[in-house]
């Protein structure tokens, strides 16, 4: 059974930093793209970033470019999201998801971790 478990969320002041982690099990981690998707309170879903199987390609939504960095460690079966210069509008539940390249879908999701940016 595929399991994705996020950690690292919390309360941070505007301008601060946070690093999210996502640990995978039950999956051949190094064979799949991975993604982060977020959901602001009471709002819809927003894709944040993707990373290729070997980490050689990364893509970001415009609103986080230059502030967020996605990375992965295939030996640890983990994907990370380094978030810098956080803003109030980054407040959301952040989900780690496995990206299925063939259909552009997200077929497995973690339980999510809440990031709150507030003074």
Partner 1 sequence: DIQMTQSPSSLSASVGDRVTITCRASQSIGSYLNWYQQKPGIAPKLLIYGASSLQSGVPSRFSGSGSGTDFTVTISSLQPEDFATYYCQQGYSTPATFGQGTKVEIK
Name the residues that contact partner 1, by CB under 8 A. Answer: 44-47, 50, 59, 61-62, 95, 100, 102-112
Nearer to partner 1, 14 or 45 (CB): 45
8 touches 73 (CB < 8 A) = no
Q: Whole-number minimum distance, CB 39 to partner 1, in Å? A: 8
Nearer to partner 1, 30 or 63 (CB): 63
d(CA 28, CA 25) in angstroms, rounded, equals 8
Q: Whole-number minimum distance, CB 12 to partner 1, in Å? A: 22
Q: Whole-number minimum distance, CB 119 to partner 1, in Å? A: 26
33 touches 51 (CB < 8 A) = yes
Q: Whole-number minimum distance, CB 16 to partner 1, in Å? A: 25
50-59 long-range Cβ contacts below 8 angstroms, 24+ apart:
50/99, 51/79, 54/30
Place of tokens 């999210």: 20
Nearer to partner 1, 102 or 119 (CB): 102
């Amino acid at each position: 059974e595929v399991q994705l478990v996020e950690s690292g969320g919390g309360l941070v002041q505007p301008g601060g930093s946070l690093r999210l982690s996502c640990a995978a099990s039950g999956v051949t981690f190094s064979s799949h793209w991975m993604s982060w998707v977020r959901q602001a309170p009471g709002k819809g879903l927003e894709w944040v970033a993707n990373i290729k199987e070997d980490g050689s390609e990364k893509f970001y939504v415009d609103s986080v470019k230059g502030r967020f960095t996605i990375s992965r460690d295939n030996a640890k079966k983990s994907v990370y999201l380094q978030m810098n210069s956080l803003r109030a509008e980054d407040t959301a539940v952040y989900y780690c998801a496995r990206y299925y390249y063939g259909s552009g879908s997200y077929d497995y999701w973690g339980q999510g971790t809440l990031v709150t940016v507030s003074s």
